[in-house]
Amino acid sequence: MTDPPHPPPLKRPTLAQVAALAGVSVSTASLAFSGSGPVSGAARERVLAAAEQLHYAGPDPRGRSLRQGRSGIIGVVLEERVLDAFRDPLRIAVLDGIAQETTPGGRGLLLLTDVGESSLVMDAASMDGVILLGCSPRIARSLDVSLRRNIPAVAIGGPPMAGVLTITLDDQQATEFEARHLYDLGHRDIAIVALPLDTSMEPGALTADRERAGTIQVTLDRLRGARAVFPESTGVMARSSLVREGMLAGHALLDDPERRPTAILAQSDLLAAGVIKAADELGLDVPGDLSVVGFDGIALDRIVPHDLTTMVQHAAEQGQAAGQAVLHLMAGESPKPVHFRSSFHRGGTTAPPRSRFPNTHSG
Amino acid sequence: MTDPPHPPPLKRPTLAQVAALAGVSVSTASLAFSGSGPVSGAARERVLAAAEQLHYAGPDPRGRSLRQGRSGIIGVVLEERVLDAFRDPLRIAVLDGIAQETTPGGRGLLLLTDVGESSLVMDAASMDGVILLGCSPRIARSLDVSLRRNIPAVAIGGPPMAGVLTITLDDQQATEFEARHLYDLGHRDIAIVALPLDTSMEPGALTADRERAGTIQVTLDRLRGARAVFPESTGVMARSSLVREGMLAGHALLDDPERRPTAILAQSDLLAAGVIKAADELGLDVPGDLSVVGFDGIALDRIVPHDLTTMVQHAAEQGQAAGQAVLHLMAGESPKPVHFRSSFHRGGTTAPPRSRFPNTHSG
DNA sequence: CTGTTAGCGCATTCAT
DNA sequence: ATGAATGCGCTAACAG
């Protein structure tokens, strides 16, 4: 925060000046703008004319916000830089849902990226409410400030936190459902392509050590769901939810024909798309040689020509629910916690495993 | 704005209360927090202790912002709803560039979607500066309010507007360059897949009427560039920059073998990817049977297995430039206008057209 | 219908 | 090094 000492504060006309020019009191002028009180048509006319003449653009939000005790701004905390956060179509859909609910009524969304000196931002910004996207414990630090300010907070996913209305997701159960789907098809040797376990972790094999050090709830939950069916399953951790990352992971898991799993459970659709592309490059048929499931249910049908088997998340609705919840909290109400369930989409990327021993094929 | 009458303003501790508890004056307490003046270590200690005890989370941004005349908030105006705006990877990159430059120093980005009652938001939000993304004239209305408030404004692309520092792009020249590339390869019969001409326009054929009614600068500029080389060229207008839309457009242009162009100039890489997919579906070889160029230079190599010939825009840098410019304006300086040039990327999706009359093939 | 009064919470003079 | 006073621009009570 080493700005030049005093960025010259532009001089703007004030309501008092307008009132003076119009020959009315400030309160009358105020009413003329807000329309929330009885003002004679003539008075209003004069005020507006005076405003026009002075290039007065309406009440200054700063004064208004100080007086009213609210700013009309809702913060959205992202855990990554914008580029990474919005590369994920799911997150965009969530944000869109939030925007749909909250921006009517003259409210705005303040984007806060929780990187570096973000706590400064949370300090400096005046928000009426805050929505948290993403959910490592590091975020708790930022959150702490909001809570101390008594700013209503809503989180989507993530661990339950005191003072935060959390919109809960079924990551674990949903993944377990998928895993069971693979199990029921006959798969016994599956591999996982996981999302990052921690923001500061390098991608690589999914070792027990790294898992223990993991902090990102959604990754851990989905892992847990997979382990409920395949306790010994392992795999690789990707750097982020990107097709490219999925390809790298896919090659890591599939390049060696000796140790190929019969199915891969990817923790996002984009990762799954990458895995399928890797399989394509290796000449493997999906689902003939390899079953693949994703997670999210984003429209992927143009990236890979497959109809991906996945768990569909209702992202826009999650965003809307978060938006509604924070508005309710701001109004002093006590909205009930919401839980979202994913829906299973049986696409065309899963099938029974090809027998390892074609000659025992009892057909 | 029909909120319940009086959303109960949460009671938060004030600096005065902290000062009282600490046994110092408010000004001393203020200095203890801002650190911008001489305070004895002992006094600071006492103030911080008192703050801790009262759960005081630091100076309230509202009072501070009113007093200092600035809020630390930079507005970003989008012309569409979040979902549409951020489906475009280019826009995300631009936003990321903006964030990189502006969010250090404790500033936040306020997302303003210019839909519906947006002008309310521009009225209500206190911003120190504003950056405009997208550029239909409708935006001028929103802008008007900011300008009247003397809020520094920077636009990326779009028509020059009074009072706005515009970061100019070379859409027209860049498209002309691409068109000439196709011409030089021997193409004489090309079709255009255009971005929307107006936010309220249905997709369909690119007629002269619709073009005249077009309002979106970037689309018009790129059309103009194409026309500089192929004055008679026509094509279709897509609904937005999406692969799916590109496929629809591609089929519209390619399904009838009798009237197939030898090359398609798409106004975005995503549209180009869709065109290529449509060509694939029709059994057409790219670039053998059809040359395709895009625009933007986003990393597309995982969506279609082609290396797309395109004009690379330096999106992140554009965002950074806009961020820097608005910061300079806020500091009272007069930054110079910036112009960005796209770079031509010769990929593998363009080649000379196959002769229409193989038997005249003079090889 | 209109004007008067009184702060909202804070950073900043200018004294001491 | 500290404190007292001032007002940033506005809106909400209340009084007329």
Task: Give the CATH number, domain containing residue A80.
Answer: 3.40.50.2300
- Number of structural domains chain A divides into: 3
Q: Assess if residue A66 is contained within a domain.
A: no
Instruction: Kindly state the average pLDDT of the residues B61-68.
Output: 92
Q: Assess if residue A240 is contained within a domain.
A: yes
Q: Tell me the residue range of the domain where B186 lies.
A: 171-313
Please list the pLDDT of chain A residue by residue as tens digits (363 residues). Answer: 333 344 444 578 899 999 999 999 999 999 998 887 788 888 889 999 999 988 898 899 999 999 988 899 999 988 888 888 888 889 999 999 999 999 888 888 999 876 665 555 666 678 999 999 876 666 666 667 667 788 899 999 988 888 899 999 999 999 999 999 999 999 999 999 999 998 888 899 999 999 999 988 899 999 999 999 999 999 999 999 999 999 999 999 999 999 999 999 999 999 999 999 999 999 999 999 999 999 999 877 667 788 999 999 999 999 999 999 999 999 989 999 999 999 999 999 999 998 755 544 443
CB atoms within 10 A of CB B190: 23
**Structure-block tokens of residue B310:** 């395109």
Which nucleotide lies closest to B36 by the C1' atom and the CA atom? C11
Q: Assess if residue B8 is contained within a domain.
A: no
**Which residue, counting CA atoms, is nearest to the C1' of nucleotide D4?**
B25
The amino acid at A314: H
| SS3 at position A249 | helix
Query: Where would I find the H helices in B282-330?
Result: 315-330
The per-residue pLDDT for A222 is: 97
Distance CA A313, CA B311 (A): 36
Q: How confident is residue B361, by pLDDT bands cut at 50, 70 and 90?
A: very low
Residues B191 and B257 placed together within one structural domain of the fold: yes
Contacting residues of A for B5, CB less than 8 Å apart = none
Mutate to test the interface with B, among A123, A130, A240, A241 (most CBs of B within 10 A): A123
Q: Assess if residue A10 is contained within a domain.
A: no
Q: Assess if residue B155 is contained within a domain.
A: yes
**Least confident among A122-136, A341-355, B149-163, B228-242:** A122-136
Residues B258 and B150 placed together within one structural domain of the fold: no
CB-based contact A177:A311 (threshold 8 Å): yes
Residues A275 and A328 placed together within one structural domain of the fold: no
Residues B116 and B192 placed together within one structural domain of the fold: no
Query: Which residue in B70, B170, B41 sits closest to B128, CA to CA?
Result: B70
CA B195, chain centre distance (Å): 14
Contacting residues of B for A332, CB less than 8 Å apart = 7-8
Q: How confident is residue B126, by pLDDT bands cut at 50, 70 and 90?
A: confident
Residues A99 and A161 placed together within one structural domain of the fold: yes
Distance CA A232, CA B263 (A): 53
Q: Assess if residue B66 is contained within a domain.
A: no
- What is the average pLDDT score of chain B? 88
Of B60, B121, B126, the CB nearest to A106: B121
Residues B305 and B210 placed together within one structural domain of the fold: yes
Distance CA B340, CA B321 (A): 10
Query: Running DSSP on this structure, what letter comes out for residue A106?
Result: T
pTM for this prediction: 0.89
The per-residue pLDDT for A137 is: 63
Residues A180 and A309 placed together within one structural domain of the fold: yes
The per-residue pLDDT for B144 is: 72
Residue of A nearest to B90 (CA): A83
The per-residue pLDDT for A1 is: 35
Residues B287 and B195 placed together within one structural domain of the fold: yes
Query: Where would I find the H helices in B166-314?
Result: 171-185, 208-212, 217-229, 243-254, 269-281
The amino acid at A188: R
The residue out of B313, B329, B354 marking a domain boundary is B313
Of B62, B109, B330, the CB nearest to A66: B62
Residues B163 and B176 placed together within one structural domain of the fold: no
Is A200 (CB) below 7 Å from strand C?
A: no
Q: Assess if residue B181 is contained within a domain.
A: yes
Residues B309 and B252 placed together within one structural domain of the fold: yes
Distance CA B299, CA B315 (A): 12
Residues A175 and A309 placed together within one structural domain of the fold: yes
Q: Assess if residue A349 is contained within a domain.
A: no
Residues A109 and A163 placed together within one structural domain of the fold: yes
The residue out of A6, A26, A59 marking a domain boundary is A59
